[in-house]
């Protein structure tokens, strides 16, 4: 119990003073996971739409793959990206291993299937009559996609939230491809693991509290957007 | 219509993947140095003192990857690191003999100690023969946590079992492998009231010392010597050998050695490492 109390006090001290680069680590985490989520959205939402709307052979298999991909273990994504980006790997010449970009790669592999699968499921759940309506309006290809996405915007928002949740909480991939370098690739989760291994449980708890605060804040913000959209 | 739609979506997805990579290139190859080292040098905080000085002095940028000695040498073998700071002498000699590394030089040592629960179920507290102590732990079936990760400390532990003429007790109920770094392993040992082999530096820096006091120390077999090794640039053209040599020279220069010898004195009342160049 003493330890817990001490950890809370230390956590509070770090949060109020910003010692131990907590602010830097927090900002970096926000930037990296934000980028990963954004890239995953840019890939995942169109891919999810394509998966749901296209009519081509193998479509069901692709949907199954996307669904399976939602359970992509971060360490597997990390290992895969490491094997490619290590100097001895295929893209070693790019010198991207142990950089924030490498983390973005790995996290994109983790979040994209989540966004694809949920988007596809949402679009497939739209009433068939809707497609006829939109076509009847004489909408072009892009307008058609846009209108369908608009109709499914609330579940797509859930897809983005789920993708973000997956990348902000993962530690395995960031550790492996980022190397947990202080000032460069140390993010909240990897920093917390390091502090635990150093025996600094207070610092680890402080980092954990920030992590939870970010997740809650982002979810609340997105939920607010969702609810406002729903009321309309 | 559907096909061209798919094609444009695919192009968009591809662009999104490549764009960030292209934006982040251009880090000057010769200014970046990857140091693969053991968890003990990082968890103890020594590198937090040394690396900024080296970076300032050389203008280079060091990426420290803290893994076990075994994993560090594997990185060296593949050319995924430029320079190693490791403590696993037998494996290091093989590494150099196999042509993966050059210019191996002794930098410093610390010592390993066997720590264990205060009630000392194996009755080894205060002794100094590490192999005999391991035999007693095994005979008593007292809980023991092994690193189990191919690190230098793990290698030392295996040597001790061999010296005690006991087969490595993998799979026995009282013997567990953490597979993690030294700091994490100490936490586990403290929680499970188990014995473990640790370097003194990490123990001083990370452990809950009251629940995991030193049981065995002072055995010559428990010396833990750190060497710096330059990864052979002839094997891997991408290795930054010039930077690696510069880092090696930095470690061996007088100022740095003095800094190593002083490190930890103000915090723990005793230095964690003893500089010991050849």
Counted across chains A and B, CB pairs separated by less than 8 A come out at 104
Closest CA of chain B from A231, distance in Å? 31
pLDDT at B7: 53
pLDDT in tens, B93-133: 999 999 999 999 999 998 999 999 999 999 999 999 999 99
pLDDT in tens, B21-45: 444 444 456 789 999 998 888 888 8
Identify which of A86, A92, A96 has the shortest CB distance to residue B21: A96
Decide if B21 and A94 are in contact by the 8 Å CB cutoff. yes
pLDDT band at B1 (very low <50, low <70, confident <90, very high): very low
Average pLDDT across chain A, whole number: 90
pLDDT at residue B53 tops 90: yes
pLDDT at A47: 94
- Extract the tokens encoding B139: 């005979």
Decide if A95 and B180 are in contact by the 8 Å CB cutoff. no
Out of A133-142, B6-15, B145-154, the most confident range is B145-154
How far is residue A181's CA from residue B36's CA, in Å, rounded to a whole number? Answer: 12
For residues B137-149, average pLDDT: 93
For residues B129-149, average pLDDT: 93
pLDDT at B99: 92
Closest CA of chain A from B155, distance in Å? 20
Shortest CA distance from B20: residue in chain A: A101
What secondary structure does DSSP assign to A120-138, as a single string?
HHHHHTS-HHHHHHHHHTT
Interface of A with B (CB under 8 A): 35, 39, 42-43, 46-47, 49-50, 53-56, 86-88, 92-101, 104-105, 108, 141, 145, 179-182, 184, 194, 196-199
Half-sphere exposure of B226 (CA within 13 A, CB side): 32
pLDDT in tens, B194-246: 999 999 888 988 777 888 999 999 898 898 899 999 999 988 888 999 999 99
For residues A90-116, average pLDDT: 93
- Extract the tokens encoding B209: 């010392």
Closest CA of chain B from A106, distance in Å? 11
pLDDT at A232: 63
pLDDT in tens, A4-52: 788 788 888 888 888 878 889 999 999 999 999 999 999 999 999 999 9
Average pLDDT across chain B, whole number: 87
Shortest CA distance from A176: residue in chain B: B65
**Angle subtended at Cα B257 by Cα B252 and Cα B260, rounded to the nearest 5 degrees:** 130
Of B9 and B178, more confident: B178
Selected for mutation to probe chain B from A66, A115, A197 (highest B CB count within 10 Å) is A197
Residues in chain A closer than 8 A to B43 (CB atoms): 197-198
How far is residue B46's CA from residue B201's CA, in Å, rounded to a whole number? Answer: 9
pLDDT at A56: 84
pLDDT at B269: 83
Q: How many residues are there in chain A?
A: 232
pLDDT at residue A137 tops 90: no
Closest CA of chain B from A123, distance in Å? 16
pLDDT at residue B13 tops 80: no
pLDDT in tens, A208-217: 988 999 999 9
pLDDT at residue B20 tops 70: no
Cβ atoms of A78 and A177 within 8 Å: the answer is yes
pLDDT at residue B278 tops 50: yes
SS (H, E, C) chain B: CHHHHHHHHHHHHHHHHHHHHHHCCCCCHHHEEEEEECHHHHHCCHHHHHHHHHHHHHCCEEEEEECCHHHHHHHHHHCCCCEEEECCHHHHHHHHHCCCEEEEEEEEEEEEEEECCCCCCCCCCCECCHHHHHHHHHHHCCCEEECCCCCHHHHHHHHHHHHCCCCCCCCCCCEEECCCCHHHHHHHHHHCCCEEEEEHHHHHHHCCCCCCCEEECCCHHHEEEEEEEEECCCCCCCCCHHHHHHHHHHHHCHHHHHHHHHCCHHHHCCCCCEECCC
Residues in chain A closer than 8 A to B207 (CB atoms): 199
Decide if A197 and B184 are in contact by the 8 Å CB cutoff. yes
Residues in chain B closer than 8 A to A94 (CB atoms): 21, 25
Shortest CA distance from A196: residue in chain B: B184
pLDDT at B224: 87
- Extract the tokens encoding A11: 């956590």
pLDDT at B22: 43
pLDDT in tens, B166-180: 999 988 889 999 988
pLDDT at residue B5 tops 60: no
pLDDT at residue A68 tops 60: yes
- Name which of A95-104, A165-174, B140-149, B269-278 the model is least confident about: B269-278
Decide if A47 and B205 are in contact by the 8 Å CB cutoff. no
pLDDT at B25: 40
Residues in chain A closer than 8 A to B1 (CB atoms): 141
pLDDT at residue B187 tops 60: yes
Is-above-0.95 flag for pTM? no
Half-sphere exposure of B81 (CA within 13 A, CB side): 30
Shortest CA distance from A32: residue in chain B: B20
Residues in chain B closer than 8 A to A101 (CB atoms): 20-21, 23-24
Mark which residues 136-155 of B lie under 8 Å from A by CB: none
Cβ atoms of B227 and B36 within 8 Å: the answer is no
For residues A178-202, average pLDDT: 87
Closest CA of chain A from B149, distance in Å? 15
pLDDT at A4: 79
What separation in angstroms does the CA of B212 have from each of B31, B110, B220?
43, 19, 22
Decide if A199 and B65 are in contact by the 8 Å CB cutoff. no
B233 touches A: beta carbon within 8 Å: no
Name the pairing type of β-strands B32-37 and B83-86.
Answer: parallel
């Amino acid at each position: 119990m003493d330890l817990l109390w001490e950890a809370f006090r230390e956590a509070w001290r770090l949060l109020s003073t910003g010692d131990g680069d907590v602010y830097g680590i927090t900002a970096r985490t926000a930037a990296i996971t934000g980028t990963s989520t954004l890239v995953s959205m840019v890939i995942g939402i169109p891919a999810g739409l394509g998966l749901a709307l296209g009519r081509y052979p193998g479509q069901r298999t692709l949907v199954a793959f996307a669904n399976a991909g939602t359970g992509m273990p971060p360490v597997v994504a990390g290992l895969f990206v490491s094997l490619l980006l290590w100097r001895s790997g295929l893209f070693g010449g790019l010198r991207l291993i142990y950089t924030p970009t490498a983390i973005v790669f790995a996290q994109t592999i983790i979040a994209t299937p989540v966004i694809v699968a949920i988007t596809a499921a949402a679009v497939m759940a739209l009433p068939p009559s809707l497609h006829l309506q939109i076509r009847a309006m004489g909408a072009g290809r892009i307008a058609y996609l846009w209108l369908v996405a608009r109709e499914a915007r609330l579940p797509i928002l859930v897809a983005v939230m789920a993708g973000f949740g997956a990348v902000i909480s993962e530690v395995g991939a960031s550790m492996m491809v980022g190397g947990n370098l202080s000032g460069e690739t140390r993010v909240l989760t990897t920093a917390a693991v390091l502090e635990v291994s150093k025996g600094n449980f207070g610092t680890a708890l402080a980092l954990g509290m920030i992590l939870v605060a970010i997740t809650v804040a982002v979810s609340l913000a997105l939920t607010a957007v969702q609810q406002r959209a729903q009321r309309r | 219509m559907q096909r061209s739609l798919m094609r444009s979506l695919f192009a968009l997805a591809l662009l999104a993947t490549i764009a960030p990579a292209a934006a982040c290139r251009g880090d000057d190859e010769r200014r970046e140095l990857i140091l693969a080292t053991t968890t003990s040098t990082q968890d103890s905080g020594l590198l937090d003192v040394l690396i900024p000085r080296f970076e300032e002095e050389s203008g280079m940028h060091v990426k420290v990857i803290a893994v076990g000695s075994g994993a560090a040498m594997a990185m060296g073998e593949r050319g995924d690191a430029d320079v190693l700071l490791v403590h696993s002498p037998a494996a290091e000699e093989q590494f150099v003999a196999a042509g993966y590394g050059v210019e191996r030089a002794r930098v410093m040592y610390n010592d390993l100690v066997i720590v264990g629960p205060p009630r000392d179920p194996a009755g080894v507290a205060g002794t100094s023969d590490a192999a005999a102590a391991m035999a007693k732990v095994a005979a008593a079936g007292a809980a023991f946590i092994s690193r189990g990760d191919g690190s230098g400390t793990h290698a030392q532990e295996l040597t001790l079992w061999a010296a005690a003429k006991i087969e490595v007790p993998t799979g026995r109920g009282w013997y567990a492998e953490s597979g993690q770094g030294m700091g994490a392993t100490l936490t586990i040992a403290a929680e499970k009231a188990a014995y473990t082999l640790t370097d003194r530096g990490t123990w001083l820096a990370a452990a809950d010392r009251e629940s995991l006091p030193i049981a065995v120390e002072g055995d010559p077999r428990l010396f833990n010597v750190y060497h710096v090794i330059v990864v052979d640039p002839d094997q891997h053209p991408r290795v930054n050998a010039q930077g690696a040599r510069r880092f090696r020279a930095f470690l061996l220069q007088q100022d740095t050695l003095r800094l190593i010898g002083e490190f930890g004195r103000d915090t723990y009342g005793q230095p964690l490492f003893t500089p010991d160049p050849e």
